[in-house]
Amino acid sequence: MSVTADHIREKLTKELGAVHVDVEDTSPNRCATSYKVLVVSSQFEGKPLLQRHRMVNTCLAEELKEIHAFEQKTLTPEQWEKQKSQ
């Protein structure tokens, strides 16, 4: 399986009900081995950061086998709106 930014975006949107997903390939030659993601989902409401990250990691378990570096930021829609207005 080839992991792409679009694939990651689609999977997070579908499985976590994400209302916003940014995926950036941060590998040196854009060779799909390092990603930085921002996920905004109401499923994160009331959950601590570690639990949110576990949700993302579980969703992308197969993909993470092929990715060498993965940075994530997880926000609720309310947190996302606050951050955008700053």
**Domain ranges across the chain:** 5-79
Beta-bridge partner residues of 34: 69
Sheet bearing 34-41, strands edge to edge: 18-25, 34-41, 69-75
pLDDT at 1: 58
Q: What is the pLDDT of residues 20-70, one digit of tens each?
A: 999 999 988 867 789 999 999 999 999 999 999 999 999 999 999 999 999
Position of tokens 């700053």?
86
Stated pTM of the model: 0.92
- Look at 41-45, 71-75, 82-86 and tell me which has the smallest mean pLDDT: 82-86
Q: What is the pLDDT of residues 26-37, one digit of tens each?
A: 988 867 789 999
Query: For the chain, where are the E strands, in sequence order?
Result: 18-25, 34-41, 69-75
Q: What is the largest CA-CA distance in the chain?
A: 39
Cβ contacts of 76 within 8 Å, gap of 6 or more: 40, 41, 42, 44, 45
Architecture of domain 5-79: 2-Layer Sandwich (3.30)
